[in-house]
Amino acid sequence: MIKKILSIAALNLMFTAGITMAQGQTPEVSRSVSFKEPSAGACKLLQMKNGNTLFFHFSKKKGIEVAVFDTKHKMSPIVNNHVESFKTKQLGTSDFKGLFEINGQALLFLVRYEHRSPLLYRFTFDGKSGKLIEEKVVGEIEKLPITAGYAVVYGGVGLPSFDVKKDPESDYYAVATINTFAHESNARIKITHYSPEHKVINEGNYASPKNKYKYLNLLEMYVHGDEYVFLTTFGYNTAKSGGKDSKVFVSRLSKGSKDIAGEYMSSARSIESPIVGLKYNAVNKQLYMLSGVNAKSIGLEHTMYSADGNMVLKMNTIDPASLKISPDAFVKHPELSSYAQKNLKYKNPYTGVIQDFRLHEDGTATIMFEELEAKVSTSSYMSASGSFSSSTHTSTRLGDIGVVRVSADGKEMPGSYAIAKSQFTNGWLSPYYLYRRAETGWNYNRGAFKGGANNNNFFSFDYMYVNDKAYAIYNDFSENIEREDENYRGRKKMRGVSDANTVLAWYDGEKIQRSYLFGDPGNKDIARFSRIDMNTHSADEKSFATLMIERKGRKKEAYIVWVKF
């Protein structure tokens, strides 16, 4: 698939998009030579600290192909890495759990179910050559019982699996082994803490608090160097297992201790399992936990709407040393709603869901929202012989983006705004889609570049934060990009991407500015759109790389593109 790059790999094209942003800054856009657009398997990008960019193509025929681009974007010979542990065609049935740089190497984590036993594979690649150094099983869960399928479908029990988290500021990482079918609740979550050299430095089982809760869900995990692994969990019972009590807990596996210390989030009511994001502020040494909580379960009016339920956004700061938790702060954004009503011509308040957030040195946080409405439709058919069949189709509308800055206690600060867009994609997308995209977005061998297939690779948005300002990156049609007004009505709905272009959008303090990130196509027969799900940011957050598709008439070519602010 990527072999065509080799013929002119030394050639590197560079251009600027002609975008004049705040502070007069212009992003510099560079692209590789062209190659045939990938239409099968899966693709991932990883920017390394040494300046190299690794392009992974996962193929059922060739295994794992890796192309390495150096700091000048010159490509080294492609390495075809054959998978030894299982048949390469089985890559497509693996669950992607992350691709990280650790100790100068690229680490890929995949989960496979073999003979009803979940296995976690760790693939280690040389960061300079792309060569596969090692493939190893680093986690294994006992074989599932034959009755597991019934428990999953009818009992609401999740499948056993693994979660992998890397410290954003170091090369330490942790693996959570989640055995939902373990007989003892104290054996259902195991945390293994690794050094950059892949040595186990600590390990502990998460015990059910006071042995009170039969069921435990791991909501989120954060790794802080070699010091600790922080957990957020949800413990609950059912009517058959001791009552319907439930609570959210925060816990810590500390260096030198096998015990996981914990505290519960105080609440007067039992709540449903929330969705949780965790980030650490190195300045005030606090963990910020932003949780989407079912509004009805705690008796509040919802501020976020999705098919997963009407929710409110709860913000807490946590001292990871003492596990002291701040009072609940429920984020409201009347200024964002006012902006949407005035400029986008909303009749009702803005109710987009949280997709990601960014912490600032002064203790404030910028929250990125997006309208998200998922639907399931079922169609029935009758054949000529009179037999019936049915098919189920899921789709998600990804609407307007909302940007809100809040204080450390969750209060909306001046300057909230919304960016109008209207996208429709196949598949079911949930809140925190951006936040979790580095651990998901596999879409293996689903024809993601062909109309009618699962095409969410191109949808939703990404963002860069430059000079204290957020820049949204997404694909849209030229007629929407060039519109002067912000009215969300009348915008052309984007269901396919062949006619779209990647746009950079930002708020200048008065209105939304938009520009073509890869240059004005100037012609309806030309389009340049990108794989938003492949965006990979540099360590200093001043650049990102992505996969761009350029269409000229019926001809399409792909490029690796680097954008530097």
Provide the token pair at 510. Answer: 């008065």
Cβ-Cβ contacts under 8 Å for 431 (sequence gap 6 or more): 275, 292, 304, 306, 308, 311, 353, 354, 355, 372
Domain count, the chain: 1
The tens-digit pLDDT sequence of the chain (565 residues) is 554 444 334 344 455 455 555 544 579 999 999 998 887 889 999 999 999 999 999 988 889 999 999 999 999 999 999 999 999 888 988 999 999 999 999 999 999 988 889 999 999 999 999 999 999 999 999 887 777 766 666 666 778 899 999 999 999 999 999 998 777 777 889 999 999 999 999 999 998 887 888 888 999 999 999 999 999 999 888 755 556 778 899 999 999 999 998 888 866 455 688 999 999 999 999 999 999 999 998 889 999 998 888 999 999 999 999 999 999 999 999 999 999 999 999 999 999 999 999 999 999 999 999 999 988 777 766 566 656 666 777 889 999 999 999 999 999 999 999 999 999 998 888 899 999 988 876 776 544 444 444 678 899 999 999 988 999 999 999 999 999 999 999 899 999 999 999 999 999 999 999 999 999 999 789 999 999 999 999 988 899 999 999 999 999 999 999 999 9
CATH classification of the domain holding 230: 2.40.128
448-505 pLDDT, tens per residue? Answer: 444 444 678 899 999 999 988 999 999 999 999 999 999 999 899 999 999 999 999 9
SS (H, E, C) 268-306: CCCCCCCEEEEEEECCCCEEEEEEEEECHHHCCCCCECC
Handedness of CA 337, 343, 347, 352 (dihedral sign): negative
176-193 pLDDT, tens per residue? Answer: 999 987 777 778 899 999
Cβ-Cβ contacts under 8 Å for 554 (sequence gap 6 or more): none
The whole-angstrom separation of Cα 56 and Cα 43 is 5
| 308 φψ region: left (φ > 0), alpha (ψ -120 to 50), beta (else) | alpha
CB 174 within 8 A of CB 191: yes
- pTM exceeds cut of 0.75: yes
The whole-angstrom separation of Cα 127 and Cα 135 is 15
The whole-angstrom separation of Cα 99 and Cα 66 is 13
Residue 317 forms part of a structural domain:
yes
Residue in this structure with the two tokens 């995209």, named with its chain if needed: 437
For residue 242, the enclosing domain spans 141-326
Q: Is 36 helix (H, G, I), strand (E, B) or coil?
A: coil
The whole-angstrom separation of Cα 3 and Cα 195 is 36
CB 117 within 8 A of CB 144: yes
Q: Give strand ranges (E) for 24-183.
A: 28-31, 42-47, 53-59, 63-69, 79-81, 95-102, 105-114, 117-126, 132-140, 161-166, 173-178
Residue 260 forms part of a structural domain:
yes
Specify burial of residue 12 (Cβ count, 10 A radius: 0-12, 13-18, 19+).
Answer: middle
Residue 374 forms part of a structural domain:
no
CB 473 within 8 A of CB 464: yes
Provide the token pair at 252. Answer: 């810590």
Residue 267 forms part of a structural domain:
yes
Provide the token pair at 497. Answer: 């991407």
Q: Within 10 Å of residue 84's Cβ, how many Cβ atoms? A: 9
According to DSSP, the β-strands at 526-530 and 536-537 are unpaired
Pick the closest to residue 279 from 225, 355, 357 (CA basis): 357
Residue 124 forms part of a structural domain:
no
How distant is the alpha carbon of residue 518 from its chain centre? 24
Provide the token pair at 143. Answer: 């074989």
Residue 515 forms part of a structural domain:
no
Full strand arrangement of the beta sheet holding 189-194 = 161-166, 173-178, 189-194, 200-205
The whole-angstrom separation of Cα 349 and Cα 345 is 10
Q: Is 19 helix (H, G, I), strand (E, B) or coil?
A: coil
Cβ-Cβ contacts under 8 Å for 547 (sequence gap 6 or more): 38, 43, 45, 55, 530, 531, 534, 558, 559, 560, 561
Residue 23 forms part of a structural domain:
no
Residue 219 forms part of a structural domain:
yes
